[in-house]
Structure 1
Amino acid sequence: METPMYLGIDLGTSGVKAVLVDDAQALVAQATAPLEASRPHPLWSEQDPADWWSATQGAVGQLRAAHPEAMRAVRGVGLSGQMHGATLLDRADRVLRPAILWNDGRSGAECAELERRVPDLRALTGNRAMPGFTAPKLLWVAAHEPEIFAATAKVLLPKDYLRLRMTGDHASDLSDSAGTLWLDVGQRAWSPAVLAATGLTEAHMPRLHEGSQPTGALRAEVAAEWGVPPGVPVAAGAGDNAAGAVGVGVVAPGSAFLSLGTSGVIFVSGERFAPNPERGVHAFCHALPGRWHQMSVMLSAASCLTFAAHLTGATDEAALLRDAEGHSGDLGALVFLPYLSGERTPHNDPHAKGVFFGLTHDTGRGALARAVLEGVAFAFADGLEVLEEAGGRVERLLVIGGGARSALWGRILTSALGRPLDYPAGGEVGPAFGAARLARLAVTGEDPAAVCRPLEVRRTVEPDAGLAASMAGRRRLFRRLYADLKAAFREADDA
């Protein structure tokens, strides 16, 4: 008898990842296909949903070509994806404009307007209105592209557009939908009041499901193209961070992870709705029933290393990391602010900018790289601080994401945070693995605690007191610089 397989698909900002996971939760295969974002104007960030589907077809096609027998054994499909994106469809499910992404900052004025229209917005949604969220984007479209807004029949999140192409269903899960600002997060239901404030109704929204529930089955033509059995169910899935938590087993209350990907996240699982919106903390539903989570989110994390590699002419990020490792001198007052796309936690400031401060004639590429690693670590430390204001102390964190491969960055992070960092085996697979776990739950109905077990910890990095002491002055300078430059950031955008 063939071993059942589960297909997890993660729609990221820079690419689509597809994984095959067997019944023993072993990773059988993985494949990726790249994506690029478009920035046609300052603060804008967009993608064509057709590119998402093409990349998904490409990644799954790679799996079929390399593992046709395993694909024939697929019993369920799970989805995860970048959160907050606004995919606008007409009555025939045609895409009306490029999707507005999570790191788009154009709707700052609309955030203020939404909070004016819904005075209890933060109590309902557990979050401040931020430009990254979906609801303010629709207010922007209504004001600046009224003909598009008038033609909008459905608003889907990015991964849910893939679901539509896969199954024909307008459906979503609660973890991803909590990031729209249209969800009453405590009640796990759409808020008619917030929808009405943006000129929408529940008819514009997809049906809501828990992440481990099935939402439909693959269309016959998609199943045939992918080489999987007909009628395979598709789980509701999760937003990328909740899916990452399911994948590494951060589902028990108080457990936490740090994701060092394009963006940076500290995620803490809980059994109650515990918002702290005044400090830019996100309080969302988890991907499993009866669970919520809090997140601090920085918009640019590992992407800062990519930026610095391009800026300094390094061959790639790995080469730049080698330069950082080779730098043994004192950084002095060299500080990097990682706000290349604005910032969420704790500043909620779409105008914030990236800054190198303290440059001299002696500053080399290795020092710049080291400053980038420290700047991202300091921003994570700011996020952890505000998370702990609303909840208990986070004792340790699992580390996932592409940046987790850097041992130097791990030492800097753990020393800036003052917490041990656990590196799990297979943690780099992240949300796609969690999506596969949700696919399994949708098929088998097993106890989530039995399936969503923590991954085995491969190594632990403990804080280095000496390194922490050497960074302490730059951490203080880091925090002061943002405060000193905040008004200038806004003036620069208004000029």
Structure 2
Amino acid sequence: MYLGLDLGTSGLKGVVIDDKGNVLVQESVSLTVSVPHATWSEQDPESWWQACVDVIQRLQQRLDVSKLKAVGLSGQMHGATLLDHHGAVLRPCILWNDGRSQGQCQALMAEFPDLIERSGNLYMPGFTAPKIRWVQENEPEVFAKLAHVLLPKDYLAFRLTGVMSSDCSDAAGTLWLNPQTRQWDDDLLAATGLTQANMPKVYEGCDLVGTLSEAIAQELGLPLLPVVAGAGDNAAGAVGMGVTNPGQGFISLGTSGVYFTVSESHKANPQNTVHAFCHALPGRWHQMGVTLSAANSLSWLAKLLDKTVVELLDVLEDSGMQRTKVLFLPYLSGERTPHNDPQANGQFIGLNNTTCLEDMTLAVLEGVAFSLLDCQNALSSAGSMVDELSLIGGGARSAMWRQIIASVLNKRLIYRDGGDVGPGLGAARLALLGEQQGLGQNIESLISQYCTMPEVLEVHEPDLTFSVYYQKKYALYRAYYQATSKLNHELALLS
């Protein structure tokens, strides 16, 4: 058996598969996000470790962990986990959806105009590098003690093994990695006052980086398992869904929304806010469009109304409502693709005395679908096109939402078994690949054998009867952002 640990924003999942890649069991523990100031988003790394311990304890109650052969990790990308020389955490991790470093992004691009070409990506507040510049300027006492920077899942790997490591898919999202060489770039590091001495060694996602330390293995009740480098959550999700070759793609409906396509080389397109990163598997790259508040938008509405997401969806489905004059802009955490605007605000437009709960829920589902269409258009302009898409993430469990997205994107969407645990499944598959590769097996043969597409549960074709409705509403969606963008920035300046 093989264990995949997926460190998300809202929780940590543990997924166990057998040697044929079948999911045997999964467990999860919730996590909370701290928002000490507007546009800030932080988590305590110690909470990740405690969630990891709790998940493993729950798994032990359901299976014989002595049969585990290896561990893989996936995790939320871009988070800045800062450690001192002793490996102690210096401050809460600054997360991927934190928008405080917009000024640092602008300064870095002005001071070092060649950085975008070297990294292949536009400088955005969500990425790791500008966060370090912010710490340097605003928390100099922390920066003075800074010895190591780790990404969230790499911090867990460090706690498990004592080894500081990363993989090229996750590392590409820091803006310190050259995606073509798949290694750290000295000039990119120097722009934020760092050197390679501050960084972990970079591996391919299926490479072994170490084993559980004896003390940790004893604490967790596990064998001395090998640990592979793992992957950023989106690349891990691609491995879990068998999206490993050029021309394939998927959409992730997690806390954020991701439109992911595989490419045979590094295809940078920063002018369209497309992310161009390394895949978790050797000799592969990928492009992404990202919307920062996907399933989070629905969770936010549910919490605001003191209901569950399931209740909101059930009420909407029971009503039979399929169209609404209410429009929603899902910019609760700012937005990346295509706006790169951390000050963008969420908005409901078109509310009146007749507006009901169903209108608002449907508007949220449509608004997130429109944000994914923004991503699709950005990727199309970058030369990335796919005929069909798999879906992963917790939000993908809603058949109604899947159908709306298929119709808005005018794409065939395929919901597959294991889509709700895609990154965790991918992390477990990387553990399997790493263990088998360590036994002398050829990696490409292993990828073909184990990184297959899971069973199809449902296929959604675009409903052409909604074409005109969605086209007109999408045009309004884009127009309202353009019309209110300046006002939102002024509103953000109010205390």
TM-score, scaled relative to structure 1: 0.97
Structure 2 match to 1:357: 349
Residue equivalent to 2:288: 295
Distance between the aligned counterparts of 1:438 and 1:330, measured in 2? Answer: 41
Give the Cα separation in 1 of the matches to 2:335 and 2:296.
13
Equivalent-residue separation in structure 1 for 2:219 and 2:62 (angstroms): 14
SS of 2:61's equivalent? helix
Comparing 321-330 with 379-388, which one deviates more in the overlay? 321-330
Whether the 8 Å CA contact 2:272–2:382 is kept in 1: the answer is no
> Alpha-carbon deviation of 1:330?
7.2
Please give the alpha-carbon distance, in whole angstroms, between the structure 2 residues aligned to 1:27 and 1:326. Answer: 32
Structure 1 residue 332 displacement after superposition:
5.0
Report the Cα offset of residue 27 of structure 1: 1.0
2:45 aligned with 1:49: yes
Give me the whole-angstrom Cα distance separating, in 2, the residues matched to 1:272 and 1:122: 17
Verify: 1:246 aligned to 2:245, yes or no.
Answer: no
Residue in 1 aligned with 2:492? 493
Kept in 2, the 8 Å contact 1:73–1:228? The answer is: no
2: CA distance between counterparts of 1:310 and 1:357?
Answer: 20
Question: Shift of residue 149 of structure 1?
Answer: 0.4
Counterpart of 2:453 in structure 1 is 454
1:215 aligned residue: 209
The 3 A distance-change label for structure 1 pair 471 and 328 is farther
1:320 corresponds to which residue?
A: 312
Quick check: 1:158 aligned with 2:157?
no
Of stretches 147-156 and 331-340 in structure 1, the one that deviates more from structure 2 is 331-340
Cα distance between partner residues in 2 of 1:444 and 1:300: 38
Q: Is the 8 A contact 1:302 1:403 kept in 2?
A: yes
**CA spacing shift, 1:28–1:226, aligned 2, 3 Å:** farther
Aligned counterpart in structure 2 of residue 26 of structure 1, from 16, 22, 27: 22
Aligned amino acid, residue 36 of structure 1 = T
| 1:171 aligns to 2:170 (yes or no) | no
2:379 aligned residue = 387
Tell me the equivalent position of 2:275. Answer: 282
Q: Counterparts of 1:406 and 1:327 in 2: how far apart (Å)?
A: 16
In structure 1, the partner of 2:68 is 74
Determine whether 1:369 maps to 2:361. yes
Q: Which residue of 1 aligns with 2:302?
A: 309
Distance 1:101 1:330 in 2: 36
The answer to whether structure 1 residue 60 and structure 2 residue 56 are counterparts is yes
2-structure distance, mates of 1:225, 1:133: 34
Amino acid at match of 2:219: E
Partners of 1:333 and 1:121 in 2: how far apart? 44
Contact preservation (8 Å) 1:16, 1:33: yes
Identical positions, percent: 51
Detail structure 1 runs of 4+ shifted over 4 Å in the superposition.
328-332
Are 1:327 and 1:367, in contact at CA under 8 Å, matched by a contact in 2?
no
Structure 2 residue 242 is matched with structure 1 residue 258: no
Alignment of 1:58-137 (within 5 A): 58-67=54-63, 69=64, 71-137=65-131
Selected match of 2:11 from 12, 15, 18: 15
The structure 1 residue matched to 2:229, chosen from 219, 231, 236, is 236
Gapped regions of structure 2 (runs ≥ 5) = none
Q: Which residue of 1 aligns with 2:408?
A: 416
The answer as to whether partners of 1:64 and 1:226 remain within 8 angstroms in 2 is no
- Partner AA of 2:226 in structure 1: P
Residue by residue, what CA displacement relative to the aligned partner does 1:165-187 show, whole Å, maximum 9, x if unpaired?
Answer: 00001100000000001111111
Q: Contact 1:244 / 1:433 at 8 angstroms: preserved in 2? A: yes
How far apart are the structure 1 equivalents of 2:323 and 2:453? 38
Q: Match for 1:451: what amino acid?
A: Y
**d(CA) in 1 for partners of 2:488 and 2:123?**
20
Query: Equivalents in 2 of 1:292, 1:102: separation in Å?
Result: 20
Give me the whole-angstrom Cα distance separating, in 2, the residues matched to 1:299 and 1:25. 31
C-alpha separation between the residues in 2 aligned to 1:29 and 1:393?
35
The answer (yes or no) to whether the contact 1:118–1:193 under 8 Å persists in 2 is no
Within 2, Cα distance between the matches of 1:117 and 1:194? 12
CA distance in 1, matches of 2:469, 2:170: 40
CA positional deviation for 1:28: 1.2
Match of 1:143 among 134, 137, 146: 137
Query: 1:184 matched to which residue of 2?
Result: 178
C-alpha separation in 2, matches of 1:327 and 1:377: 20
TM-score normalised over the length of structure 2: 0.97
CA RMSD of aligned residues (A): 1.1
Amino acid at match of 1:57: V
Counterpart of 1:66 in 2: which secondary structure? coil
What letter corresponds to residue 269 of structure 1 in structure 2?
V
Distance 1:392 1:346 in 2: 15
SS of the counterpart of 1:198? coil
The answer to whether the 8 Å contact 2:272/2:381 transfers is no
Q: Distance in 1 between matches of 2:487 and 2:119?
A: 31
Q: Secondary structure at the match of 1:53?
A: helix
**Counterparts of 2:482 and 2:425, CA distance in 1:** 39
Structure 1: which 5+ residue stretches go unaligned?
none
Give the conservation status (yes or no) of the 8 Å contact 1:286–1:292.
yes
Residue-pair matches, total:
487
Cα deviation, 1:128-181, whole Å, max 9, x if unaligned, reads 000000000000000000010010000000001101100001100000000001
After superposition, what is the alpha-carbon deviation per residue over 1:445-473, rounded to whole angstroms, capped at 9, x for unaligned? 14322221111212200000112322222
After superposing the two structures, state which structure 1 stretch, 109-118 or 80-89, moved more.
109-118
**1:220-241, CA deviations, whole angstroms, 9 ceiling, x for partnerless residues?**
12222333322x1100000000
One-letter amino acid of the structure 2 residue matched with residue 484 of structure 1: A
